[in-house]
Protein backbone atom coordinates (compact mmCIF):
# COMPACT_ATOMS: atom_id res chain seq x y z
CA UNK A 1 0.00 0.00 0.00
CA UNK A 2 1.07 3.62 -0.46
CA UNK A 3 1.55 4.54 3.17
CA UNK A 4 3.91 6.47 5.42
CA UNK A 5 5.83 3.25 6.09
CA UNK A 6 7.17 3.19 2.50
CA UNK A 7 9.90 5.77 3.18
CA UNK A 8 12.58 4.63 0.73
CA UNK A 9 13.79 7.55 -1.34
CA UNK A 10 11.59 10.07 0.49
CA UNK A 11 12.93 13.60 0.99
CA UNK A 12 12.68 15.73 4.12
CA UNK A 13 13.44 13.19 6.86
CA UNK A 14 17.14 14.01 7.21
CA UNK A 15 20.09 11.61 7.08
CA UNK A 16 20.05 8.15 8.59
CA UNK A 17 21.87 8.35 11.93
CA UNK A 18 23.05 4.89 13.03
CA UNK A 19 23.28 4.38 16.77
CA UNK A 20 26.72 3.00 17.75
CA UNK A 21 26.47 -0.30 19.66
CA UNK A 22 22.69 -0.13 19.48
CA UNK A 23 21.06 -2.57 21.94
CA UNK A 24 18.43 -5.06 20.82
CA UNK A 25 15.90 -3.30 23.05
CA UNK A 26 16.03 0.23 24.44
CA UNK A 27 13.57 -0.48 27.27
CA UNK A 28 12.03 -3.45 29.03
CA UNK A 29 8.60 -2.79 27.48
CA UNK A 30 10.07 -3.21 23.98
CA UNK A 31 11.30 -6.68 24.89
CA UNK A 32 7.83 -7.47 26.23
CA UNK A 33 6.10 -6.15 23.08
CA UNK A 34 8.32 -8.40 20.97
CA UNK A 35 7.57 -11.41 23.18
CA UNK A 36 3.82 -10.75 23.12
CA UNK A 37 3.84 -10.54 19.33
CA UNK A 38 5.59 -13.91 19.07
CA UNK A 39 3.37 -15.54 21.67
CA UNK A 40 0.08 -14.31 20.17
CA UNK A 41 0.96 -15.41 16.65
CA UNK A 42 0.24 -19.00 17.69
CA UNK A 43 -3.35 -18.63 18.95
CA UNK A 44 -4.19 -15.64 16.78
CA UNK A 45 -4.08 -17.47 13.48
CA UNK A 46 -2.44 -14.65 11.53
CA UNK A 47 0.75 -14.79 9.46
CA UNK A 48 3.77 -12.52 9.08
CA UNK A 49 2.29 -10.60 6.15
CA UNK A 50 -0.92 -9.92 8.08
CA UNK A 51 1.26 -8.63 10.94
CA UNK A 52 3.15 -6.29 8.63
CA UNK A 53 -0.07 -4.94 7.15
CA UNK A 54 -1.52 -4.36 10.62
CA UNK A 55 1.48 -2.19 11.51
CA UNK A 56 1.59 -0.15 8.32
CA UNK A 57 -2.17 0.29 7.82
CA UNK A 58 -2.60 3.55 9.71
CA UNK A 59 -2.72 7.27 9.05
CA UNK A 60 0.68 8.93 8.41
CA UNK A 61 0.40 11.13 11.52
CA UNK A 62 -0.19 8.00 13.60
CA UNK A 63 2.53 5.93 11.92
CA UNK A 64 5.21 8.63 12.05
CA UNK A 65 4.50 9.51 15.68
CA UNK A 66 5.17 5.96 16.90
CA UNK A 67 8.48 4.26 17.57
CA UNK A 68 9.33 0.86 16.08
CA UNK A 69 7.94 -1.25 18.92
CA UNK A 70 5.00 1.08 19.48
CA UNK A 71 4.00 0.11 15.93
CA UNK A 72 4.45 -3.57 16.78
CA UNK A 73 2.16 -3.15 19.79
CA UNK A 74 -0.45 -1.18 17.82
CA UNK A 75 -0.45 -3.83 15.11
CA UNK A 76 -0.85 -6.60 17.69
CA UNK A 77 -3.78 -4.78 19.29
CA UNK A 78 -5.48 -4.48 15.89
CA UNK A 79 -4.98 -8.16 15.06
CA UNK A 80 -6.28 -9.31 18.44
CA UNK A 81 -9.31 -6.99 18.28
CA UNK A 82 -10.23 -8.24 14.78
CA UNK A 83 -10.35 -11.80 16.12
CA UNK A 84 -12.22 -11.07 19.34
CA UNK A 85 -9.24 -11.83 21.57
CA UNK A 86 -9.40 -8.41 23.18
CA UNK A 87 -11.95 -5.59 23.31
CA UNK A 88 -11.62 -1.84 22.79
CA UNK A 89 -12.27 -1.09 26.45
CA UNK A 90 -9.56 -3.56 27.50
CA UNK A 91 -7.06 -1.91 25.15
CA UNK A 92 -7.96 1.50 26.59
CA UNK A 93 -7.67 0.22 30.17
CA UNK A 94 -4.49 -1.77 29.54
CA UNK A 95 -5.87 -4.69 31.54
CA UNK A 96 -8.41 -7.54 31.14
CA UNK A 97 -12.02 -6.56 31.88
CA UNK A 98 -13.86 -9.61 30.58
CA UNK A 99 -13.53 -13.39 30.97
CA UNK A 100 -10.33 -14.48 29.20
CA UNK A 101 -10.41 -16.52 26.02
CA UNK A 102 -8.95 -20.00 26.12
CA UNK A 103 -6.08 -20.07 23.62
CA UNK A 104 -2.97 -22.20 23.00
CA UNK A 105 0.01 -20.97 25.01
CA UNK A 106 3.58 -20.61 23.80
CA UNK A 107 5.61 -21.74 26.79
CA UNK A 108 8.97 -20.12 27.51
CA UNK A 109 10.78 -23.36 26.70
CA UNK A 110 9.26 -23.38 23.23
CA UNK A 111 10.40 -19.91 22.15
CA UNK A 112 14.00 -20.72 21.16
CA UNK A 113 13.07 -23.84 19.12
CA UNK A 114 10.32 -21.88 17.35
CA UNK A 115 12.69 -19.05 16.42
CA UNK A 116 15.37 -21.49 15.26
CA UNK A 117 12.88 -23.39 13.11
CA UNK A 118 11.61 -20.29 11.36
CA UNK A 119 8.88 -20.35 8.73
CA UNK A 120 10.25 -21.23 5.27
CA UNK A 121 8.40 -19.49 2.42
CA UNK A 122 9.76 -21.41 -0.59
CA UNK A 123 7.19 -23.52 -2.44
CA UNK A 124 7.03 -25.72 -5.53
CA UNK A 125 6.76 -23.71 -8.74
CA UNK A 126 3.67 -24.28 -10.88
CA UNK A 127 5.37 -23.03 -14.05
CA UNK A 128 8.88 -22.11 -15.30
CA UNK A 129 10.34 -18.75 -14.33
CA UNK A 130 9.55 -15.93 -16.77
CA UNK A 131 12.89 -14.23 -16.21
CA UNK A 132 16.50 -15.30 -15.83
CA UNK A 133 19.71 -13.73 -14.58
CA UNK A 134 20.70 -10.83 -16.84
CA UNK A 135 17.17 -10.08 -18.10
CA UNK A 136 16.09 -6.45 -18.20
CA UNK A 137 12.77 -5.90 -16.42
CA UNK A 138 10.56 -2.98 -15.43
CA UNK A 139 8.83 -2.77 -12.06
CA UNK A 140 5.15 -2.16 -12.74
CA UNK A 141 3.40 1.05 -11.72
CA UNK A 142 1.31 -0.60 -9.02
CA UNK A 143 -0.65 1.27 -6.35
CA UNK A 144 -2.34 -1.45 -4.28
CA UNK A 145 -4.60 -0.50 -1.41
CA UNK A 146 -3.27 -3.32 0.77
CA UNK A 147 0.08 -4.87 1.65
CA UNK A 148 2.83 -5.18 -0.97
CA UNK A 149 6.60 -5.63 -0.91
CA UNK A 150 7.25 -3.50 -3.99
CA UNK A 151 8.63 -0.11 -2.87
CA UNK A 152 7.30 2.99 -4.58
CA UNK A 153 10.71 4.32 -5.60
CA UNK A 154 11.34 1.45 -8.05
CA UNK A 155 7.89 1.42 -9.69
CA UNK A 156 8.16 2.22 -13.37
CA UNK A 157 11.96 1.85 -13.26
CA UNK A 158 14.10 -0.57 -15.26
CA UNK A 159 16.57 -2.96 -13.64
CA UNK A 160 18.42 -6.22 -14.25
CA UNK A 161 17.65 -9.61 -12.72
CA UNK A 162 20.69 -10.70 -10.73
CA UNK A 163 19.29 -13.67 -8.76
CA UNK A 164 16.41 -16.14 -9.15
CA UNK A 165 15.21 -17.46 -5.78
CA UNK A 166 12.55 -20.00 -6.77
CA UNK A 167 8.85 -19.74 -5.97
CA UNK A 168 7.83 -18.17 -2.65
CA UNK A 169 4.64 -17.26 -0.79
CA UNK A 170 3.14 -14.12 -2.36
CA UNK A 171 2.80 -11.55 0.46
CA UNK A 172 0.09 -9.47 -1.23
CA UNK A 173 -2.43 -12.33 -1.11
CA UNK A 174 -1.09 -13.84 2.10
CA UNK A 175 -1.70 -10.59 4.01
CA UNK A 176 -5.39 -10.73 3.07
CA UNK A 177 -5.94 -14.36 4.01
CA UNK A 178 -6.35 -15.33 0.34
CA UNK A 179 -3.82 -18.13 0.39
CA UNK A 180 -0.15 -18.39 -0.41
CA UNK A 181 -0.43 -18.15 -4.23
CA UNK A 182 3.34 -18.79 -4.69
CA UNK A 183 5.20 -16.84 -7.37
CA UNK A 184 8.76 -16.76 -8.64
CA UNK A 185 10.93 -14.36 -6.66
CA UNK A 186 13.83 -12.41 -8.16
CA UNK A 187 16.47 -9.98 -6.98
CA UNK A 188 16.49 -7.02 -9.35
CA UNK A 189 19.34 -4.48 -9.37
CA UNK A 190 18.54 -0.84 -10.24
CA UNK A 191 21.25 1.67 -11.11
CA UNK A 192 21.14 4.76 -8.91
CA UNK A 193 20.75 7.05 -11.91
CA UNK A 194 17.66 5.10 -12.99
CA UNK A 195 16.09 5.72 -9.59
CA UNK A 196 17.34 9.19 -8.61
CA UNK A 197 18.38 10.89 -11.85
CA UNK A 198 21.67 12.14 -13.27
CA UNK A 199 22.84 13.63 -9.97
CA UNK A 200 22.96 10.19 -8.30
CA UNK A 201 26.22 8.43 -7.46
CA UNK A 202 27.27 6.63 -10.66
CA UNK A 203 28.82 3.77 -8.69
CA UNK A 204 25.70 3.05 -6.60
CA UNK A 205 22.82 0.68 -7.21
CA UNK A 206 19.93 -0.75 -5.22
CA UNK A 207 18.86 -4.40 -5.20
CA UNK A 208 15.20 -5.23 -4.55
CA UNK A 209 13.54 -8.63 -4.12
CA UNK A 210 10.48 -8.63 -6.40
CA UNK A 211 7.79 -11.21 -7.07
CA UNK A 212 6.90 -12.16 -10.65
CA UNK A 213 3.66 -10.19 -10.83
CA UNK A 214 5.53 -7.01 -9.87
CA UNK A 215 7.58 -7.17 -13.08
CA UNK A 216 7.27 -6.95 -16.84
CA UNK A 217 9.84 -7.27 -19.62
CA UNK A 218 11.66 -3.99 -20.27
3-state SS, one letter per residue, for 145-157: CCCCCCCHHHCCC
Same domain, 38 and 87: yes
Same domain, 139 and 106: no
Digit-coded pLDDT (tens) for 58-115: 999 999 999 999 999 999 999 999 999 999 999 999 999 999 888 888 888 888 887 7
| Confidence (pLDDT) at 214 | 98
Percent of the chain with pLDDT over 90: 78
| Confidence (pLDDT) at 40 | 87
Same domain, 111 and 130: no
Domain end among 117, 141, 171: 117
Number of domains observed in the structure of the chain = 2
Domain end among 117, 141, 157: 117
| Confidence (pLDDT) at 104 | 80
| Confidence (pLDDT) at 193 | 95
For residue 157, the enclosing domain spans 122-217
Neighbour count for residue 130 (Cβ, 10 Å) = 16
pLDDT above 90: residue 29:
yes
| Confidence (pLDDT) at 58 | 94
pLDDT above 90: residue 22:
yes
What's the average model confidence in pLDDT over 131-144?
Answer: 97
| Confidence (pLDDT) at 15 | 85
| Confidence (pLDDT) at 100 | 84
| Confidence (pLDDT) at 105 | 81
> For residue 198, what is the domain's CATH number?
2.30.30.50
Domain end among 64, 85, 117: 117
> For residue 51, what is the domain's CATH number?
1.10.472.20
Digit-coded pLDDT (tens) for 175-194: 999 999 999 999 999 999 99
| Confidence (pLDDT) at 181 | 97
Q: DSSP secondary structure string, 36-96? A: HHHHHHHHH---HHHHHHHHH-S-HHHHHTS-HHHHHHHHHHHHHHHTTSS-HHHHHHTS-
| Confidence (pLDDT) at 12 | 86
3-state secondary structure of 123: strand
| Confidence (pLDDT) at 130 | 98
How many whole angstroms separate alpha carbon 96 and alpha carbon 103? 15
Same domain, 33 and 109: yes
Please give the DSSP secondary-structure letter assigned to residue 29: H
Amino acid sequence: MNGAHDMGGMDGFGPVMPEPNEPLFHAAWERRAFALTLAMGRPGGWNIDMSRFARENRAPVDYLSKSYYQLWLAGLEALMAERGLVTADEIAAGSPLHPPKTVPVLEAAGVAPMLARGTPTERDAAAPARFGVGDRVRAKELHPRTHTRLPRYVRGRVGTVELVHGAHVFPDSHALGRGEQPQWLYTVAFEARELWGDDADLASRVSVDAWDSYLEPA
